[in-house]
Structure 1
Amino acid sequence: MAHLENKIAEIADPHLREIIDEEVKKLKEEKQFGLVFEGHQPEVVPVLKAAVRKGAIVAKRGGNLAETWHVMRVHDDAADILRDTDESRETVSLASLVVVRRMGEPVFPAPCTAEQCPKHRSARAASHPDLGRELSRAATAGLSLYRQGGLHLYLL
């Protein structure tokens, strides 16, 4: 654009130079030239099997994942949520929410939850008393635990 402005300045006729300069100014207001860094929505990923808990960041199932909410309170089968953008509040069913993680936030995968792997829970808990205590502690805290050898995986 600087080269174009220099060429406009070289126009001898002042009236023509002024008209072209005004049109170029209008064009520059409407269109961005050079490197353009477009705004974008924060990237999030749904954690489909994570339980909705107080303090979790969630989105509405089937809705826009970029529209995130904070869970303020969980009661019965519903949650009180606060929208991140305008701080409006709603009470919605837990089934209509999905936990999301923003880009850069940790996700702790587990092959299954303790409830989904009863053979691991019962067999290992019986043979390993430490594992039984860990499973009950994890269940109390609302965590999912899976242990294979010395590996512990938690789904928070």
Structure 2
Amino acid sequence: MEIKVMKVSEDAILPCYAHSTDSGFDLYTSEDYVISAKGTGAIPTGLKFELPKGYGIMVRPRSGNTLKGVIGTFEPIVDEFCLLIDENKHKMDIKVQIGTIDENYRGEVKILTTNNELHPVCVPKGTKLAQGVIEKIPKANFIEVNELSTTDRGEGGFGSTDC
């Protein structure tokens, strides 16, 4: 499948699959971005996509970043830009939030990211922060009914299937 991608930032990195069998392609940040303490930001990728009819991109966290943290800086943060000095780099507790890119969206893709730290965090440009998964999106017709079929689970919710 061919997907048209347009760079809107000279520092944007085209998406790529690390391995030929990967489900998700890597998404990188295109600029230094500061997220306030306990805040959420939309970090630019510098990319716009043109998707085929019936497809979408699911933006997801990378499992390695979720487990190990993301390298960024607490200090010094000067004029909202990262000042990357090796001894100031740390593994940050930031989390990528799930996002959906619809087939008709032509704006820049951004990565929704929450900072769980008690300090502002700077995520440097070029950070491999998220992954995108291209998915076929079926359309549903929703039909209102007065009752649903019964199952052995019924209305059992969170944790109801634990042994």
TM interval, short-chain normalised: under 0.3
| Superposition TM-score, scaled by structure 1 size | 0.18
Higher relative contact order (CA 8 A, sep 6+): 2
